[in-house]
Chain A
């Protein structure tokens, strides 16, 4: 009897043992859920951010460098036991309510075992808290690189950093970015993001219940060090850039200077501008809305985004097309009695010696000459009708890089306005329009809008007598043999080289006897063209394009000053000062030119209607 019962007990014990071993097998070997949960609970990844590449100008002057910002993080799950909240709040300079608010937000936004408690903590606060961080278990710092700037200059070109957006995260292919990472948002920072950013490093470690580091994971086999970003050099000359900014100060407008032989941008300014340091990670929050609300649009990069009718600066291009299309020859003369009659319509010209040659037509900016040229071309027997002639005219322009984006490495490029012939079909009816309807295109008015960089590129084509390199601001990328390939390709315009000679002579005449003769500079031969662009909303825009020296062009420049007056009064002097600055040393400047420089720098041409709404703090520090 007793033994019998003991066997039952034996059986029961063995049964329990087997059941437990089986249950453990289920939990430990078959179900891998627990291993994942355990890692989620106790394994932490710390991202080690690389140094972002530095940015230099063409003469290796440092423009942009890194400035650490500190994010105060909290371990998730958040367990704040035995923390002296009062002391903590005092260190952070926040009150108790703010603390609770930050904490509840951190709880909601936890990401991979950690959550941001407070972002962008200053150096000083960081040092103060770091000293006592051991008292606040579960809190730790992550250091990231914000940008800072040696010069209060070139904000539009350099661009800025920002946190990646949800959209960026969902669109990215390599999965490099994580929520909260910084990425280039605008300008060079954005175009060369991949070269500048480097590669993030990772450290894995275990934490205990309170978030304290308990040692590395798998002997650091999965850890890797960050790779610092590449330094880059830009083609801009920071001295020239700052000089240009002084000239354009208190004006609305822009300036683009290109080295014609390479397409390198020497200077690109949009005014009004802002201090790039105001748009770094730490400050942008404070300044962004101010910038948006400013009616003079300081964020807007006029140099690549604003289309202006080119006005008379278009005439050399029209002359080139006329020559190429045989509408005129280099010896063609037209009579100009101060107006061009088109039925009842009169297109005014201004007083200048008549029986005008091509050269004179450029020098004295004769409208009549170009109306004739345009009429000749549109009415040419080569073309079946106006539509075909217009298409031909348009294709000449597209070979100058007009009507589409140039493909530069500058943010916000706009393609400008250059209508398809179908636009006129729609407006006037198919075959129901001819040259008369669109004659103002011939002198750069009408449905034509070019951005300053397009004008600068057109003038560098003239300087090169037929070709251009896509304008770009990159000069050198550390560790790479060359800049991106697309900036090394020669693009040819549809104009034969021989046709440039008479046009260049005309442009040179502008600075000798023509509209900009009062701005001639000794020892530098400049070919230029003024433009006074009609503006229905206010004073005319002053425009100018030029290149110099004529014998061996080193700089091609376009300047637009909005709502200011004649091309010769503002845009031309500024362009010439820039040319002089770039080609010579400024100590040689004659006294008359010093006066011009002073006048340019001191004049305030911002229209009165905007004055009260301008926020000067954007530019200051």
Chain B
């Protein structure tokens, strides 16, 4: 009993600090929308959701230490069922069918799916005998991550689906060969070059490079097959990127990517959000315009400013100082979570906690990158700061589950295979 609330204080403080910044920012971002007192409107709701996640946090800490591990797979199934349910009875908001209406609340199952999937991933990888060389294991892993991704894509929420890519980081830490990450980076490079210079020019350039390469290494016949196959793959991939980009992405998605790559300027259309967002953040200066004093925030110039573009409010009203503090808090929190994962004695816990850290990292990387225009516009929230009940509650549950696992690590036996 005396160990039940032995929580990691540093992680808790970082979590609370970020959440408080979030509530304040949501208040500021919405205080112009006819809402004048704190408890009216969305900042009040945000506080309620935050308190709810604290409540569930306490409940989690009261549970048995092995509760989650035991019911792991049921959690996963529960959240997958919710994803199916949303397709059946969900309501369309902003072109995505992501919400289930329950009385006064709207629940967004995709926010909880990350939490659920982490249980499954942790369970599969921590099984005795698991190996990244084993096709069966790989297939299982692929299935548990691709099923929610697919379901969320069907909902029409590309951003939330992409979040599941963060599990690659977990796999990497757990022993997946880095080739797959390098391959991913290589593909991103080809993707960008293709969009900038078109598949045709890209292919010509690659073939010329190949000839140049042979001009200097013609004696080395060993390199012939691999280099030819790399070039062939690159050209094929480039062509298919061009084809897929032109034919399968929706127009607004194409434009968002093109705006990010500075291929087109469209400040009144696809680039409007990012442009206004950059103006808001850029006008903050060193120390900002002061809390509740952001003219751009007050003027409603940025759509979605209390949800996906909440970082604008921080950047405008808190300036570079507050933006940097916020980023530092996130980095600190993510690093702390990875550290907590590394000190876990059970593989299951280690993987679960590092899943959380990787997911938060992905969110922060993409969301802040998007507001300052170095990432394409991908609609995912800034964890604990963006307005959104499901997001706050899901991350709350996720974080308290992870902290509970860390708090009870002493009772665990050293894993033989770690």
Chain B residues within an 8 Å CB radius of A5:
172-173
Contacts of B372 in A (CB 8 A): 20, 23-24, 27
- Residues of A332-361 whose CB lies within 8 A of B: none
Tell me the minimal C-beta distance from A71 to chain B in angstroms.
24
Minimum Cβ distance to chain B for residue A490 (Å): 62
Closest-by-CB residue of B relative to A40 is B279
The answer to whether B282 and A27 have CB atoms under 8 Å apart is yes
Inter-chain contact A38/B327, CB cutoff 8 Å: no
Given the known interface contacts A13-B334, A17-B328, A42-B299, the answer about A27 and B285 at a Cβ–Cβ threshold of 8 Å is no
B281 engages A28 (CB within 8 Å): yes
Query: Are A29 and B286 interface neighbours, CB within 8 A?
Result: yes
Query: Is there an interface contact between A35 and B295, defined as CB atoms closer than 8 Å?
Result: no
Q: Does B20 make an interface contact (CB < 8 A)?
A: no
Across the interface, name the chain B residue whose C-beta is closest to A3: B342
CB-based contact A214/B335 at 8 Å: no
B368 interface contact, C-beta 8 A: yes
B296 to A, closest residue via Cβ: A38
Q: Which B residues are CB-close (under 8 A) to A209? A: 299-301
Contact A28 B282 (CB under 8 A): yes
Known A9-B173, A28-B323; judge A41-B331 contact (CB<8 A). no
Count how many chain B residues have C-beta atoms less than 8 Å from C-beta atoms of the other chain.
41
Residue B283 at the A interface, CB < 8 A? yes
Residues of B within 8 A of A43 (CB): 295
Distance A13 CA – B331 CA, assembled complex (angstroms): 7
CB neighbours of B173 from chain A (8 A)? 2, 5-6, 9
Verify if B369 is at the interface (C-beta below 8 Å from A): yes
Chain A proximity of B185: nearest CB distance (Å): 12
A residues in contact with B32, CB < 8 Å = 208, 214
A33 at the interface (CB under 8 A from B): yes
| B331→A17 contact, CB < 8 A | yes
B172: chain A residues within 8 A (beta carbon): 5, 9
Query: Which B residues are CB-close (under 8 A) to A23?
Result: 372, 374
A37 within 8 A of B: yes
* Complex contacts, A42 vs chain B, CB 8 Å: 295-296, 298-299, 301
Q: CB-defined interface of A81-106 with B at 8 Å, one 1/0 digit per residue?
A: 00000000000000000000000000
By a CB distance below 8 angstroms, the chain A residues around B17 are none
Distance from B146 Cβ to chain A, minimum over Cβ atoms (Å): 23
Q: How far is the CB of B100 from chain A (nearest CB, A)?
A: 31
Contact B282 A31 (CB under 8 A): yes
In the complex, what residues of A have CB within 8 A of residue B335's CB? 10, 13-14
B299 and A16 contacting across the interface, CB-CB below 8 Å: no
Within 8 A of B (CB), among A202-246: 206-210, 214-215
Inter-chain contact B169/A41, CB cutoff 8 Å? no
Q: Is the CB of B280 within 8 A of A38?
A: yes
User: In this assembly, does B196 line the interface, its C-beta being within 8 Å of a C-beta of chain A?
Assistant: no
Complex CA distance for A206 and B296, rounded to whole angstroms: 9
Partner of B299, one of A24, A34, A208: A208
Closest to B324 in A: A21
A109 vs B331: C-alpha distance when bound (angstroms): 49
User: In the complex, are the beta carbons of B285 and A29 less than 8 A apart?
Assistant: yes
Residue of A nearest to B331 (CB): A17
B315 touches A24 (CB 8 A): yes
On whether the beta carbons of A20 and B327 are closer than 8 Å, the reply is: yes
- CB of A9 within 8 A of CB of B338, answer yes
Whether A24 and B324, one on each chain, are in contact in the complex, defined by CB atoms closer than 8 angstroms, is: yes
A10, B172: Cα distance in complex, Å: 13
Contact A27 B278 (CB under 8 A): yes
Q: Report yes or no: B295 in contact with A34, Cβ–Cβ below 8 A.
A: no
Interface residues of B in 257-311 (CB under 8 A from A): 278-286, 295-296, 298-301
Q: Known contacts being A13-B334, A23-B374, A42-B301, is A206 close to B295, with CB within 8 Å?
A: yes
In the assembled complex, which residues on chain B have CB atoms less than 8 Å from the CB atom of A38? 279-280, 282-283, 295-296
Docked Cα-Cα span, A39 to B299, in Å, equals: 11
Instruction: Report B70-103 CB contacts with A as 1/0, cut-off 8 Å.
Output: 0000000000000000000000000000000000
Chain B residues with CB under 8 Å of chain A are: 32, 169, 172-175, 278-286, 295-296, 298-301, 315, 319-320, 323-324, 327-328, 330-331, 334-335, 338, 342, 361, 365, 368-369, 372, 374, 418
Known pairs A2-B175, A42-B299, A206-B298 / 9 extra A-B pairs, C-beta < 8 Å: A2-B418, A14-B331, A17-B328, A20-B369, A27-B281, A28-B284, A34-B281, A42-B301, A208-B301
